[in-house]
Amino acid sequence: MTLATLAPNVYDAEPIPEAARAEIERLLTSGDLFRYTSEGSPVQRLESEFAALMGSRYALAVSSCSAALFLSLKALDLPRGARVLIPAFTFAAVPSAVVHADCVPVLCEVGENYRIDLDDFAAKIDDDIACVIISHMRGHTSDMNAIMAACDARGIPVVEDAAHSLGTLWHGRKIGTIGKIGCFSFQSYKLVNAGEGGILITDDPELAARATIMSGAYEHNWKKHAGLQNSFVNWQNRLPLYNMRLQNLSAAVIRPQLPLVAERVEKGRANHDYVAARLNTSDWLAVPPALPPEDRAPDSIQFNLVGLESDDEARAFQSAAKARGVSVQVFGLSQDNARAFWNWQFLGDAPDLPRTRAMLMRACDVRLPTRLTRAELDFIAEALLAAAEDVKGRTPVYGT
Ligand SMILES: *Cc1c(COP(=O)(O)O)cnc(C)c1O
């Protein structure tokens, strides 16, 4: 057997619980796939279950997290050309949602711990910024106390891109409930897998009503959204319909996964922390610690190559890990990576962000699905440790 056949499969998404089958069968038989046909449809139930899970007043299920971000900006009624501050380390869908909403993204530096650089944030947050989107990229939580204080002082609304942060806590508060609106993804490589899908949460009835209508609650379909009757009359026929609804089959796949979130979070965190402790024994690999108020919910691990001065050395590490059966993505080294800001050419000429760039050139990404066993985690950790030694030599043992 070759190493590659022994290597754990980290690419498959989370399997769908058996409980989804009966509901999908029922939907296939009745053909009742549109969320607004029946009262108490699966999508409607998903919304109330998700709102309860998060402790928020309103939830709106939509076709993707990108749609949720777009609708958030539209619900905030930002004028055309409004400047929206976003981290420079995020997925291309985030600046794309800003452009889609006729706004202009302003990129903020991100440090080698994958979190927003607060000095650059303070320098860029001025009265010309109409909205801030905090992307908790790969679930890494930036300092939300500092960010909220700066934004609240200027009355700037914060939208949380919590696509990868379901189950993460900050000072015990759920990520996604700290800003005005929180957006989540059900795309396959997130904690809850529906292939595609997203949801936004808010406590603000006007924002919820506006987002709901624009998501495609045409005519009087808004009556199927509880608790918003007083707000909808303000917006009927006054907002465009973008039709970004979720359909019942997706909700049927998502709902039985919600009770599993807590268990997946716990398992993911244990897996991550186990591999992180092993990688941190190397002089050449560094897993940045979470900020103290954060309880993480990871399903992947990010670490930096330390002392690998050239891109060639970083590539040699990738090849050595690959030869040992583990694929590592270095965000800045793979061609056309959608998380490298210089590839967002649709933004036109943008200023360089040297700090974020330097981080991306040495930051590695490895998926750690929650189902991995201890032996599989050891396989991954040992391959990465050995790959670093292949390139840099043995980690010296001090004191000898
Ligand atoms: C996955 C992801 C998105 C996009 O989510 P979709 O549901 O695929 O639109 C946005 N932001 C972050 C941080 C993500 O990880």
pLDDT in tens, 134-173: 999 999 999 999 999 999 999 999 999 999 999 999 999 9
149 and 241 share a domain?
Answer: yes
Instruction: Please choose from 164, 168, 193, 329 the residue to mutate so as to test ligand 1's pocket, defined by most ligand atoms within 8 A of CB.
Output: 164
For ligand 1, say whether the CB of 90 is within 6 Å of any of its atoms.
Answer: yes
Own/partner contacts of 227-231, CB < 8 Å, gap of 24 or more, are 227/57, 227/58, 228/58, 230/205, 231/205, 231/206
Q: What's the pLDDT tens digit per position in 273-296? A: 999 999 999 999 999 999 999 999
**Which of 236, 259, 282 is a domain's end point?**
259
pLDDT at 234: 85
Same structural domain for residues 284 and 380? yes
Same domain, yes or no, for 335 and 218?
no
The answer to whether position 185 is within a domain reads yes
Query: Is residue 400 assigned to a domain?
Result: no
User: Is residue 1 a part of any domain in this protein?
Assistant: no
Q: Is 65 in the pocket of ligand 1 (CB under 6 A)?
A: yes
Note whether 164 and 277 are same-domain residues: no
What pLDDT does residue 226 have? 87
Cα–Cα distance for residue pair 214/244, rounded to 1 Å: 8
Atom of ligand 1 nearest to the CA of 90: 13
Q: Say if ligand 1 is within 6 A of residue 198 CB.
A: yes
Asked if residue 354 is part of any domain, the answer here is yes
Instruction: For residue 310, tell me if it sits in a domain.
Output: yes
Contacts of 223 (CB under 8 A, 6+ apart): 229, 232
Whole-number CA gyration radius for the chain: 22
The residue whose C-alpha atom lies closest to atom 12 belonging to ligand 1 is 163
pLDDT of 14 reads 81
Dmax (CA) for the chain in angstroms is 77
Ranges of H-type helices in the chain:
3-6, 20-30, 42-54, 65-75, 93-100, 118-124, 144-154, 205-216, 229-235, 248-254, 261-279, 311-323, 354-362, 374-392
Residues 209 and 198 in one domain: yes
Please state, in angstroms and rounded to a whole number, the distance separating the CA atoms of residues 66 and 55.
22
CATH number, domain with residue 151: 3.40.640.10
Counting the structural domains of the chain, the total is 2
Domain boundary residue, one of 231, 259, 287: 259
How remote is the CA of residue 116 from the centroid of ligand 1, in Å?
A: 18
Structural domain range at position 330: 261-392
What's the pLDDT tens digit per position in 219-239? 999 989 988 887 888 898 999
DSSP assigned state of 116: B
In this prediction, residue 400 carries a pLDDT of: 46
Give the distance (Å) from ligand 1 centre to CA of residue 308.
Answer: 30
Tell how far the Cα of 269 is from the centroid of ligand 1, in angstroms: 20
What pLDDT does residue 5 have? Answer: 55
Q: Is 161 in the pocket of ligand 1 (CB under 6 A)?
A: yes
Q: Domain ends where: 232, 259, 286?
A: 259
pLDDT tens track of the chain, all 400 residues? Answer: 555 557 899 988 888 999 999 999 999 999 999 999 999 999 999 999 999 999 999 999 999 999 999 999 999 999 999 999 999 999 999 999 999 999 999 999 999 999 999 999 999 999 999 999 999 999 999 999 999 999 999 999 999 999 999 999 999 999 999 999 999 999 999 999 999 999 999 999 999 999 999 999 999 999 899 888 878 888 989 999 999 999 999 999 999 999 999 999 999 999 999 999 999 999 999 999 999 999 999 999 999 999 999 999 999 999 999 999 999 999 999 999 999 999 999 999 889 999 999 999 999 999 999 999 999 999 999 999 999 999 998 765 564 4
Tell me, yes or no, whether 274 and 190 share the same domain.
no
> Strand, helix or coil at 378?
helix
Please tell me whether residues 63 and 189 are part of one structural domain.
yes
Q: Cβ(187) to ligand 1 under 6 A?
A: yes
Backbone dihedral region for residue 81 (phi beyond 0: left; psi -120 to 50: alpha; all else: beta): left
Sheet hosting strand 181-185, strand order edge to edge: 58-62, 198-202, 181-185, 158-161, 129-135, 83-87, 104-108
**What atom of ligand 1 comes closest to residue 66's alpha carbon?**
9
Residues 118 and 238 both lie in one domain? yes
Q: Are residues 205 and 58 part of one domain?
A: yes
pLDDT of residue 21: 95
In a domain, 7, yes or no: no
Own/partner pairs, 338-344, CB within 8 angstroms, 24+ separation: 338/91, 338/92, 338/93, 339/89, 339/90, 339/91, 339/92, 339/137, 341/88, 341/89, 341/107, 343/92, 344/92, 344/95
Residues 40 and 141 in one domain: yes
Do residue 95 and residue 238 come from a single domain?
yes
Ligand 1 near 94 CB (within 6 A): yes
Note whether residue 326 is domain-resident.
yes
Starting at the edge strand that comes first in sequence, how are the strands of the sheet with 169-170 ordered?
A: 173-174, 169-170, 294-295
In a domain, 96, yes or no: yes
Q: Same structural domain for residues 267 and 207?
A: no
Residue type at 147 in one-letter notation = I
